Chains A and B, each alone.
Chain A
């Protein structure tokens, strides 16, 4: 089955929803062909604002538009957008501005462009901010669901999207943030995976389960803020081991959130293993080579998990 990049699903969703939600506007900083906001631009040229290569000003201008009744979507690479943290922190988050931040080209999965273009720290940065909902869809359908949810949510939302295609993971519904969809049932061990890595974590879990010794559950860890305490308690009550897979730094991201929550709240000690980019920068390469290099392919994950869980 063909794969769809979540950035493309975003562009399609926003241009489809633009008819229904007249207050939606879209701003981009000279990357509309890459973030796919061009699809909205083509359909609603009056409601699209080309801001040029001025991410800080784009963040501020969108904030002002949200203070005048608009629902602005601002689009750039995750690295460039969240790099303007001061503007996001004060103009948007502190003011609880109704701005939706679209950060595309996340992770080493972007490939050849190399580290400077890779959003590798964006989740860690964004989840420090009160008010900021932090979401990462795992397939095209979930992206579309999250875009519409974001329009209806009053307050800032950060959406982390991929350049590369994502397999259809049957994420048909997104009802509220903080509840991770269960992708595979299992016992004792839970794989928590997100974005482009979910497909491979699931494949690895199935292969491991076939051997009959370990049966990992798999969850789509699609939200870092807000945290649903009841849902996290359910995880803590049902599983002893967590391995968190993400195409992102291991410091402070999805693994960080889960490890922090478990160490503060779990009824008995849990082991949480973070699995992602370990204290190194990204580099150029094909997306496939980079996924192998960082151990994100299904065989890599399977090998690691079996050894780790022994």
Chain B
């Protein structure tokens, strides 16, 4: 993968961010902060020339890599990216997010939307489900990989530490967990609510192949996603900015965990995202 691919992805990213803002604005609810913080991580997996081997035509097969969004509240980012890379979700369907009858539930629902790997939203569970897919792939000698994204607030869940022990014990070298380390949750910063620092030392201590990166730099993300260990699962600690791309969200990361922008704020956010694109940010 070369710089021109990263440049192309960077030019495609603002459209994804704009869709996230529009989706959350139109239903007046949702989680913009943690959706915007995870855009580059998820896009590096799904984008054309991205890390994951996948295709809309292979959804019903196991001949593909898998991605589980364990931090289910960040699902607007996943919907916007699935749309961007050619899964059957139109832009007008994106704007049905959280509407009665929509396939795009407020948190992922794999029964309604088959491109979703796991129904998540109760934190901690997606990581276990991803572990199970990795166990199954290992049993079948299926060479594909399993990726899952967790949040740093989610890391407070006991179930995450069950996975932290278990995936190492089962020698799941085919499993990569990514931490969207955006440092805020509903009731405050993660440090205030229940400090989980330093994550890299915790995961290393549990025996994971642990990497620390900037979660908004495509080059670093791809480098980490392709750095694996034959027997150890990999944990990528991705430092991110909650609300990335929208200044008033970046400066109030706790406040924008789970609030939707009003008309004025939506307009400003979309302007900023467009400007950032123009100046190549």
A pairs with B: yes
What is the chain A residue whose CB lies nearest that of B159? A56
- CB–CB B158/A47 < 8 A: no
Asked if B163 lies at the interface with its beta carbon under 8 angstroms from chain A, I say: yes
By secondary structure, the A interface counts as helix
Residues of A within 8 A of B166 (CB): 51-52, 54, 57, 61
Q: Which of B119, B127, B130, B136 is close to A70, meaning CB atoms less than 8 Å apart?
A: B136
Q: How far is the CB of A125 from chain B (nearest CB, A)?
A: 16
Cα(A70)–Cα(B132), bound, Å = 10
Asked if B165 lies at the interface with its beta carbon under 8 angstroms from chain A, I say: yes
Query: Contact mask A30-68 → B, CB, 8 Å, 1/0?
Result: 000000000000000011010110101101111111111
Cα(A82)–Cα(B72), bound, Å = 23
Q: Which of A47, A61, A69 is close to B131, meaning CB atoms less than 8 Å apart?
A: A61
Residues of A within 8 A of B62 (CB): 68-69
What is the chain A residue whose CB lies nearest that of B72? A90
Asked if A150 lies at the interface with its beta carbon under 8 angstroms from chain B, I say: no
- CB–CB B158/A64 < 8 A: no
What is the chain A residue whose CB lies nearest that of B163? A57
- CB–CB A94/B140 < 8 A: no
Asked if A192 lies at the interface with its beta carbon under 8 angstroms from chain B, I say: no
Q: Which of B158, B159, B169 is close to A60, meaning CB atoms less than 8 Å apart?
A: B159
Q: How far is the CB of A75 from chain B (nearest CB, A)?
A: 15
Residues of A within 8 A of B65 (CB): none
Besides A63-B129, A68-B140, 20 other CB < 8 A contacts? A47-B139, A54-B165, A56-B124, A57-B131, A57-B159, A59-B128, A60-B163, A64-B131, A64-B136, A65-B133, A66-B132, A67-B129, A68-B62, A68-B136, A68-B142, A90-B121, A90-B125, A91-B118, A95-B109, A95-B119
A-B contact pairs, 25 of them (CB 8 A): A49-B170, A54-B165, A54-B166, A60-B124, A60-B132, A60-B159, A61-B128, A63-B118, A63-B129, A64-B68, A64-B129, A64-B130, A64-B131, A64-B135, A65-B133, A65-B136, A68-B62, A70-B136, A72-B132, A86-B122, A86-B125, A89-B122, A91-B119, A94-B109, A95-B111
CB within 8 Å of A: which residues of B?
Answer: 62, 68, 109-111, 117-122, 124-137, 139-140, 142, 158-159, 162-163, 165-166, 169-170
